[in-house]
Chain A
Amino acid sequence: MASLPNLRRGLLALACALVGAGPALAQAPAPAKADKPQYGGHLNIGVVYYTLSPLSFDGADWTWKFNQDMGLTYEMLLAADLTKARRSGGAFDFKADAWLPTDGIRGELAEKWRLLENPWRVEVQLRKGVMFPAKAGVMPARELVADDIVYSYERLAKSPKKLATYYDHVDKVEAKDKYTVLFTFKNYHAEWDYRFFWGYYGAIQPREVVAAGAADWKNANGTGPFTLDNYIQGNSMVFKKNAQYWDSDTVAGQAQKLPYVDGITYRIVKDEATMLTSLRTAKVDVLEAVRWSAVPELKRSAPQIQWSRSLSMNTPMIALRMDTKPFDDVRVRRALNMAVNKAEIAKTYWGGNAELLTHPMHPAWPGYYEPLEAMPESIKELFTYNPAKARQLLAEAGYPNGFSFKTLVNAASTNQDMWSMVAAYLAKVGVKMEMQLTEYPAYLSAMGTKKHPAGYAMELGGSNPTTSLRKSFLTGQYWNPSIYADPGFDKKINEMYAEPDERVRQVKVRLMNREILDAAPMIWLPTPYGYAAWWPWVKNYGGELRAGAERPGPIHARIWVDQALKKKMGY
């Protein structure tokens, strides 16, 4: 016989279904009264980039996806303070791909930390009693100590795959005692915390794992809430609970040991329709990325599913190589922007579920973002369809009859029709864009080695305000497919990074963003809204996506499963 609370939850779910609560559920969920968590069960999750297999299991390979795949196993010094999530009455939705507001951060492996001046430095006090679990053939169980932080930092800093200039601001990293680490900087750097403490790079991997072979998933072993139990390329990553995990969750004033579920599987599915079917049939409990066009049908066929909507952090665009003719001429780049009817793409291709943003800034970064309406005319016109002026600019640049160029496209992109639309618009002003599809690793490698053709179609995530300028517009950077290279702009970036006053930094960033937009190194396209979906038995979750840089691990570790409800709903 169902217990009363479960019955109540079941009736609530049924009521939601009967009244067609879909539209209401599309909004961010209101703070919910905390239920008593349950332990056990298994979660199946389709993470944001569910079509992609892990790129590496070694943090020193500097792959952007490492945190997404291994964030349940490897921890960092800092992470998002999920008690401040909007669903808990807090201020943050924790959806940005690599942006944690200063007052939305908590210590993960760091118990406390402080930023000091003269010289600029950060002193970190580690939590005591945090354990690496025993792993047969790799390491016995042992406590995390300050040397592990120093070792992980040095390994990253010495990696041949390191991003250029990434740790140039760091003078030295030392273990002052067993639990104290001191980071000494050469100068102030606005991203001191992002670049090692909670960003893409900075996961703490013990030296024993490195000795055994960090690239082999079987050797993975970290202090996190789950250990990687199995991995099948292109299919799944299976994690099992780390019984020795140190952290707890506070529910109704009571500490609850984490994690709640016995295991988590990240499903890797190449095919979008298959993943949507998996959600509809509850083969996955949480799907972090649902395209807008699939939402109405899912709401009809599975009305109990819960929804959260947010503006994607990834802006589709086509980077134009500025070191290659004809894109070394700003008139050509501006012409191509004017030749594409971006408003029409937003209205038709995205069904109105998209916005024209002043990329690379994003509205998720208050203080740094300026909307299109606030921009000067020279920028506004880049977002206004004007094929006549596009033709005129092309003629002035010496291309009255247009030209042809090749664009590299990720074969796994779900937006091939949008790239085709761009090709169709460009054809109307005489520019032929030939699309070259390639598999993701080769596609990524082409950008990294700068061997890509004149065009490079991508959905580019900005990470955070300062990084978005650095990574795509600083000379020589990996994620710079436009090959933007301007010594004057490089100098401004360095000055911006050295500015400790955030308000001043925000002004600098806004001005630099205008400069980038005016130079039109990319054909910017509308940024779509995305949806996260989960079944009602998934508790302690409200559609949060990242607790760091592409790192959902801490969010998933706090989810618990209402198993009675799941059973009652027939799953």
Chain B
Amino acid sequence: MDAVLPIAADPRRHGFWARLFRDKPLGAAGAIVLGFFLVCGVLADVIAPHGFNEIAPLDRMQPPSAAHWFGTDNVGRDVLSRCLYGAQLSVIIGLSAAVLATLISSLIGIVSGYFGGKVDLAVQRFVDAWMIFPDLVVLIVVVSVLGPGMPQIIGILAVGLGISGSRIVRSAVISVREHMYVHAAQSIGAGSPRILIKHILPNVMPPIIVLLTTRVGTAILAESGLSFLGLGVPPPAPTWGSMLSGSGRTYMFEGPWLVLAPGLCLTAVVYATNVFGDALRDLLDPRMRGSR
């Protein structure tokens, strides 16, 4: 009977999460924070002690207490509940816009970078023209025309971030397309779609993943900026940006908790996405495998 020999554990085969926690503790902390807000957002309807527009005017401007952990706002709404529902909106907007933006970036970047020549020239001049306009200005114009609302905001954030982000993917593709294995694939007659999907895409995934994670934070911040300007998701739906700009700013001297709560949530999520993104890049980049 043949002996069954144990296969030596390949350190590179360790689970992703194990490597994340072992090699990138800061990134792991970011993942935990993100996961926490994700859960809060998904379960906001269940865990929020009050509705997001459940007013109790006689209990207005109550400081944090056992009854209201984050206090109440100027019309007596529970700030904790609004932060939780704000997480829901922020998570939906941030993730949706980031995923769509990354898809757009990948599509434009891979096509433009791989084919080069006139295609690249035309696409990049369009990208140049787009990038001339400050993102916030484009956002304000489009939202002013279409009106505020979550689908509009997700759509315009995705397009805006997607087009500008395509530059990063394109530069990675230009580098990868010159590698020997790509030339080898071309020489044996592989078609462009196969080369793009099988050889180019996997090798530009690290920057794409980093792009995705940073875009989550950027989208949440952009939405907050729009809400701060009164062009975000219409009230009474709470977003962290609108909480900051509305009663938060008006009553920041009388009730500093009104700005602290959404401000800290926003800061935590954006910081967490950034450190998690850094960790992902390090873990997923084939060139950095084995390094800490």
User: Which A residues have a C-beta under 8 Å from some C-beta of B?
Assistant: 270, 272-273, 291, 293-294, 297, 341, 344-345, 347-349, 409, 411-412, 416-421, 423-425, 427, 434-439, 442
Instruction: Decide: A416 and B246 in contact? CB cutoff 8 A.
Output: yes
Distance between B44 CB and nearest chain A CB, rounded to angstroms? 17
**Which residues in window 173-205 of B have CB below 8 A to A?**
none
8 additional contacts (CB under 8 A) given A297-B254, A419-B236, A420-B75: A273-B249, A348-B60, A349-B75, A409-B235, A411-B230, A417-B74, A420-B53, A424-B55
Query: How many residues on the B side are at the interface (Cβ–Cβ under 8 A)?
Result: 26
Q: Distance in Å from the Cβ of B16 to the closest Cβ of chain A?
A: 42
**CB within 8 Å for A409 and B234 given contacts A272-B250, A293-B250, A438-B147:** yes
Which of A270, A294, A438 has the most chain B CB within a 10 Å cutoff?
A438
Residues of chain A lying within 8 A (CB to CB) of residue B263: none
- How far is B77's CA from A427's CA once the two chains are assembled, in angstroms? 15
Chain A contact residues: helix, strand, loop or mixed: helix
Bound Cα distance from A442 to B60, whole angstroms: 33
Contact across chains for B60 and A417 when beta carbons are under 8 A apart: no
Asked if A421 and B246 sit within 8 Å, CB to CB, the answer is no
A313 CB, min distance to chain B CBs, angstroms: 22
Interface contact B236-A435, CB-CB below 8 Å = yes
Name the distance in Å between B153's Cβ and chain A's nearest Cβ: 12
Chain A residue with minimal CB distance to B236?
A420
Contact between chains at A417 and B148 (CB < 8 Å): no
Question: Is B266 in the interface zone, CB < 8 Å from A?
Answer: no
Shortest A293–chain B CB gap in Å is: 6
Residues of A within 8 A of B251 (CB): 293
A297 to B144, CA, bound (A): 33
The answer to the question of B20 belonging to the interface, with a C-beta cut-off of 8 Å to chain A, is: no
B235 touching A419, Cβ below 8 Å: yes
Q: Could you write out 23 A-B pairs with CB less than 8 Å apart?
A: A291-B250, A293-B74, A293-B250, A294-B250, A297-B253, A345-B57, A347-B57, A349-B75, A411-B231, A416-B230, A416-B246, A420-B55, A420-B75, A420-B236, A421-B55, A435-B235, A436-B234, A437-B147, A437-B230, A437-B231, A438-B144, A439-B144, A442-B147
**CB of B116 closer than 8 Å to a CB of A:** no
Q: How far is the CA of A411 from the CA of B73 in the complex (A)?
A: 20
The answer to whether A421 touches B75 (Cβ under 8 A) is: yes
Query: Interface centre among B54, B144, B230, B250, by most A CB within 10 Å?
Result: B230
In the assembled complex, the CB of B141 is this many whole angstroms from the nearest CB of chain A, namely 10
Q: What residues on B are CB-neighbors of A439 within 8 Å? A: 144
- B residues near A294, Cβ cutoff 8 Å: 250
Q: Is the CB of B250 within 8 A of A416?
A: no
Complex CA distance for A439 and B235, rounded to whole angstroms: 14
- Within the complex, what minimum Cβ distance (angstroms) separates A385 from chain B? 11
Contact B53 A411 (CB under 8 A): no
A417–B247 CA distance with the chains assembled, in angstroms: 8
Interface readout for B23-57 with A: 1 if CB under 8 Å, 0 if not?
Answer: 00000000000000000000000000000011101
C-alpha spacing A420/B53, complex, angstroms = 7
Least CB separation from B58: chain A residue: A348
**Interface residues in chain B, defined as those with a beta carbon under 8 Å from any beta carbon in chain A:** 53-55, 57-58, 60, 73-76, 144, 147-148, 229-231, 234-236, 246-247, 249-251, 253-254
Q: Closest B residue to A300 by CB, please name it.
A: B253
B151 CB, nearest partner CB in chain A, Å? 13
Contact present for A435 and B57 (CB under 8 Å): no
Set B57, B229, B235, B253: member contacting A416, Cβ < 8 A = B235
B250–A273 touching, CB < 8 Å: yes
* Beta-carbon contact of B235 and A424 below 8 Å: no
Q: Does B57 lie within 8 Å of A344, measured CB to CB?
A: yes
Asked whether A435 lies within 8 Å of B234 as measured between CB atoms, the reply is: yes
Per a CB cutoff under 8 Å, which of B57, B147, B247, B250 touches A348?
Answer: B57
A342 CB, min distance to chain B CBs, angstroms: 11
Q: Is the CB of A424 within 8 A of B54?
A: yes
A436-B146 Cα distance, complex, nearest whole Å: 11
- A419 CA to B144 CA, complexed, in Å: 20
Whether B148 pairs with A411 at a CB distance below 8 angstroms is yes
Inter-chain CA distance A416–B230, complex, in Å, is 9
Chain B residues lying within 8 Å of A349, measured Cβ to Cβ, are 57, 74-75
Q: Which chain B residue shows the least CB distance to A274? A: B249
CB of B53 to closest CB in A, whole Å: 5
Contact of B53 with A427 in the complex, beta carbons under 8 Å: yes
Q: Is the CB of A437 within 8 A of B234?
A: yes
A344-B57, A420-B53, A424-B54 are contacts. A436–B147 as well, Cβ < 8 Å? yes
- CA of A345 to CA of B76 in the docked complex: distance in angstroms? 11
Given A348-B76, A439-B144, CB of A424 within 8 Å of CB of B58: no
Give A101 Cβ to nearest chain B Cβ, in Å: 35
Known: A348-B58, A421-B57, A424-B54. A438 touches B148 (CB 8 A): yes
Contacts of B234 in A (CB 8 A): 409, 434-437
Q: How long is the Cα–Cα vector from A562 to B39 in the complex, in angstroms?
A: 61
From the candidates B76, B148, B247, name the one contacting A437 in the complex (CB within 8 A).
B148
CB distance from A437 to the nearest CB of B (A): 5
B230, A412: Cβ atoms closer than 8 Å: yes
A273 to B249, CA, bound (A): 7
Q: Beyond A437-B230, A438-B147, A438-B148, is A417–B235 a contact (Cβ under 8 Å)?
A: yes
Question: Taking the nearest CB of chain B, how far is it from the CB of A64, in angstroms?
Answer: 21
Question: Which residues of A lie under 8 Å from residue B148 when comparing CB positions?
Answer: 411, 436-438
When distances are taken between beta carbons in the complex, the residues of chain A under 8 Å from B236 are 419-420, 423-424, 435
B78 → chain A, closest Cβ, in Å?
12
Residue from B55, B60, B74, B247 whose CB has the most chain A CB atoms within 10 Å: B55
- Give the complex CA separation of A503 and B32 in angstroms: 74
- Residues of B near A442 (CB, < 8 A) are 144, 147
Contact (Cβ within 8 A) B75 A417: yes
Complex-state Cα separation, A417 to B234, whole angstroms: 11
Contacts of A419 in B (CB 8 A): 235-236
